[in-house]
Amino acid sequence: MPGPLSHVRVLELSRVLAGPWAAQTLADLGADVIKVERPGAGDDTRAWGPPWAGEQSAYFLSTNRGKRSITIDFEQPEGQALVRKLAAEVDVVIENFKVGGLVKYGLDYESLKAINPGLVYCSITGFGQDGPYAKRAGYDFMIQGMGGLMSITGQPDTEAGGGPVKVGVAVTDVFTGLYATVGVLGALAHRDRTGEGQWVNLALLDVQVAVLANQAMNYLVGGKAPQRLGNAHPNIVPYQAFATLDGHIILAVGNDSQFAKFCQVAGRPELAQDERYATNPARVAHRKELVAILELLLEQRTSRDWLGALEAVGVPCGPINDIAQVFADPHVQARNIHRDLPHEQAGTVPTVASPIRYSATPIEHRVAPPTLGQHTDAVLGEALGLCAADIAALRDKGVI
């Protein structure tokens, strides 16, 4: 069944994570995504291994599902001409070059808009198209630091192991890819009504500040910069990880009723009646003494015992799984999140399915991430009408 974006063709001029993540999401939704890569090398992440599946790194496989790969050297004039011809035939271009980096190739928004007025052109940079940092390169790790995320991630400086910590996944890149997808979909909706394309701009730093969410508002409303709380929550208590007799669990009490139920299970019902702990604002105010009490309670029983008893009365809680345990979880397996795709080199490669579930146009993962240049001949013949001799001549010149 065709996906909801089966009528959309995307030209991807991006590499690494944020741009490819956006393009992969569009591919999941059914768009025909043509990924332009450097001859002989391709996307940087093709070399970011081990581990490997065939000759492809796991990193590359994580963000290039459902695409077609062509190789074009657009430092050569003939290569630039090929990309411009492709841009005239597509609906969307996604690029993540430095500000102004594609102007010299005639592949910037203004140049491509002149030949395709309905084009939706999405640029992803570290700091945006203007401002004092616009010319700088931006990387997820440094943006997590600059954008405040590392100031609220990790243990407090006063505790053992304290200090700033980055998130274990490049979340700024991933969030930027998702915001880019949303931006592209909005621009396509506008174009459907008006026929007018537009330039969609994403900056990693903008996105990181935006996804500070309640922590940003805690500062803007309260006037005090939030600090690292380890696994604790700044606005809710108890909402953190606790040690048990044989490991750790997460206790995520979201309201006063849940706290009362927890106290019953813990054998301390009087805590829910104590004015210091009866309401969430009171628990936040008396966080230190309450958490000390709860730590002593939680460490007396096993994780399995706590999880079973708390789940039975509707108190939110959960284990802390490693990634192997995640994919072994019966619910994750029932949701069919791990899939295997046929691959011309490796036989099959694993993939993590899109979390989007449609009732009318279900997402179907059929195409593995491409090998380098796998579809060059097919795309140039299909989209541009080049014959085998034309393609051979371009290959002889090193253009493709």
The residue among 221, 228, 219 whose CA lies nearest residue 158 is 228
Buried b (16+ CB within 10 A) or exposed e, 262-287: bbebbeeeebbeeeebeebebbeebb
Active site residue 173: yes
Cβ-proximal residues to 290 (8 Å cutoff; 6+ apart), any chain: 237, 238, 271, 276, 277, 283
Of the residues 157, 173, 377, 396, only one is catalytic, namely 173
Q: Which amino acid is at 316?
A: P
Helix 171-194 to helix 18-28 angle (10° resolution) is 50
Q: How many CB atoms lie within 10 A of CB 176?
A: 32
Q: In 28-78, which ranges are E strands?
A: 32-37, 52-53, 56-57, 67-71
Distance between CA 287 and CA 235 in Å, rounded? Answer: 10
> What DSSP character marks residue 371?
P
- Beta pairing class for 67-71 and 32-37: parallel
Where helices occur in the chain by DSSP H, the ranges are 18-28, 58-61, 77-87, 109-115, 140-146, 171-194, 204-210, 213-222, 256-266, 280-285, 287-298, 303-312, 323-328, 330-334, 376-384, 388-396
Structure tokens at 86: 């492709």
Structure tokens at 298: 């939680």
Structure tokens at 143: 């943006």
Q: Which residues are catalytic?
A: 173
